[in-house]
Amino acid sequence: QLVVLGEEGMFELDYLTQRLTFTRATDTTNPRLIRGYAPTFEGELVELPLEASEPLAAELDAFIRVVRHGERPLVDADDGVWAVAIAEALLQSAAEHRSVDLDRATVVGDSTIVGGAPTA
């Protein structure tokens, strides 16, 4: 399960049921907080459409398309580096009680993939 909280509400993705919902916060100007965090969101629940598929089969299909047909991968090494940078920034932000700015071009460089090979 993945839950993402924001100023306007909460996204919740259930990997098992493959259901994605968004709960819109009813009072974003005066949320109910516990130690500075909104523990729950009350408000309109919107179910967002997802194309259900078996995750491992979808991952293997995508890999085969890259290898056989030269398609660009859905997720590449730069995406992995960026994800780690975001996770590290989240930890730093929590430890230092401040926001941390990130610039993707600075973190992963300005490389592109052409024909399956990275170029700079």
Q: What pLDDT digit, counting tens, does each position of 52-66 carry?
A: 888 889 899 999 999
Q: Examine the pLDDT at 2 and tell me if it is beyond 50.
A: yes
Average pLDDT score over residue span 25-52:
72
Whole-number Å distance between alpha carbons of 90 and 96: 10
Residue 43 neighbours by CB distance under 10 Å: 16
Report the range of poorest mean pLDDT among 36-40, 53-57, 71-75: 36-40
Q: Examine the pLDDT at 16 and tell me if it is beyond 90.
A: no
Domain boundaries, the chain: 1-52, 72-120
Average pLDDT score over residue span 38-67:
85
User: For residue 14, what are the β-bridge partners?
Assistant: 19
Q: Examine the pLDDT at 9 and tell me if it is beyond 70.
A: yes
Average pLDDT score over residue span 66-74:
94
How far CA 39 is from CA of 28, 34, 68, in Å, comes to 13, 7, 47
Instruction: Please name which of 54, 79, 110, 59 lies closest in space to residue 67, comparing C-alpha atoms.
Output: 59
For the chain, give the mean pLDDT: 82
> pTM for the full model?
0.54
